[in-house]
Homo-oligomer: A and B are copies of this chain.
Amino acid sequence: MDLELASRLAKPNTTKIILCVLDGLGGLSRPERMRSELGSASIPNLDRLAARSEVGLTVPVGAGITPGSGPGHLALFGYDPLTFDIGRGVLEAVGIDFELGPDDVAARGNFCTLDADGNISDRRAGRIATEITAELLKELAVIKLPGVEILLEPVREHRFVLVLRGKGLGDVVTTTDPQITGVSPLSAKAGDAASAKTAELVNQFVAQAQAIVASHPTANGLVLRGFAKYPHLPQFPQIWGVRAAALAVYPMYRGLAKLVGMTPLACPGGMEEQIESVRARWDDFDYFFVHYKKTDAAGEDGDFERKMHVLEEFDRYVPDLLNLGADVLMIAGDHSTPALMAAHSWHPVPFLLHSKYVREGHAENFNERSCLRGSLGTFPAVDVTPLAMAHAMRLEKYGA
């Protein structure tokens, strides 16, 4: 739904909506078993819920398009991810409460491990502790570049944010991260004239930083991607007339939620604490976005068994989620991360919506094959929010 139409149709109500996003939810079957991670896991609560819900598969961006986390979530929040494009650097910066100024260009950085030939052998530097990343960044503070201030902040594990603060910096700069191992980091290139200076500064920064970290045993290299300035998005609470809270452990998802105007609530402890936070702030908000990261992490690591187990872990929270008593409860994913591929993929993502007004289909379980038989079919993820608002009786009739 067009966001202008959305704000025209939105009407106030006292109903409550919960969107649980299981990051990288969708999977693929192991050839020998014909069952995906979801199909192999023991998830009795999700299965039972699926049988009395509207069920389907969401297409995050479009056929064949593998989304990053940004587009995957934006779509679930009702923003066409082909229209609204947010740089990863901005997501990371906002996620750690870094206040981006209007001239700042932010990038997401990763420490990585380089082999003797300068090729990337581990894209995550063995997932070094956040504290080590913080120490390394302190060493990089000596770097000076002409005409810009350099700001560096650790995010989590091997991840950090670089912000270049100065006048006249464009943000159309190519990644230095090849996103595969066995090759060396790339040079940054400008995509337009206004970004030529930025690309040059980025390459100077990387060269100096590289020299400083070269002796570190694992984090002896770095890559930068997602160069971007702060975007001004239409605000979710204003469009739909809901007070919206985000309950996410990882900074990037809190950042994304903040960009669309949701209020992030602290909950470092995971699902138990996230559910408790929803309960504690029940009267303060109408819409709760609850993010569960473990599914994606297991998928990215190619760990089929672990993805099964973290799905089973999530399943045990489903009764608590139902007991919150929301008018609309959704179980969704921002994209697929099949363990078989050890990466995000383009495959549609299982989805479930539970409310008083559901129309049942033929899905009897919550997995990729069963969701095909649900009443929602395979549909664009950008339709999730209008659907939720309809089920929450928060949309006026269109036309006479």
Residues on A facing B (Cβ under 8 Å): 1-2, 5, 9, 28-29, 34, 36, 61-71, 81-82, 85-88, 91, 108, 225-226, 338, 340-341, 344-347, 357-362, 368-369, 372-373, 375-380, 383, 385-391, 395-400
Contacts and interface: CB of A to CB of B under 8 A. Distances in A.
B360 A29 contact: yes
A64 B387 contact: yes
B346 A390 contact: yes
Given A1-B62, A5-B82, A386-B62, A67 B399 contact: yes
B63 A344 contact: no
B378 A64 contact: no
Given A226-B400, A397-B344, A400-B225, A64 B390 contact: yes
Given A372-B362, A378-B377, A64 B400 contact: no
Nearest to A34: B360
Nearest to A397: B66
Given A357-B341, A368-B359, A67 B225 contact: no
A145 B60 CA distance: 56
A361 B395 CA distance: 34
A20 to B, nearest CB: 19
What is the count of identical protomers in the complex? 2
Nearest to A63: B383
B29 A359 contact: yes
Given A1-B65, A377-B378, A399 B362 contact: no
A250 B124 CA distance: 54
Contacts of A5: 82
Nearest to A380: B63
Given A63-B379, A65-B386, A341-B357, 11 more contacts: A1-B64, A5-B82, A28-B359, A63-B380, A63-B387, A63-B390, A64-B383, A68-B398, A85-B399, A226-B400, A377-B377
A71 B375 contact: no
Contact of A70 (B36, B368, B386, B399): B399
A375 B377 contact: no
B71 A399 contact: yes
Nearest to A84: B399
A136 to B, nearest CB: 22
A2 B64 CA distance: 12
Contacts of A344: 397
A346 B386 CA distance: 10
25 contacts: A1-B62, A9-B65, A29-B359, A61-B398, A62-B386, A63-B383, A63-B387, A64-B383, A64-B388, A64-B391, A65-B386, A65-B398, A66-B395, A67-B398, A69-B400, A81-B398, A86-B400, A87-B400, A108-B400, A226-B400, A347-B359, A360-B369, A369-B375, A376-B378, A377-B378
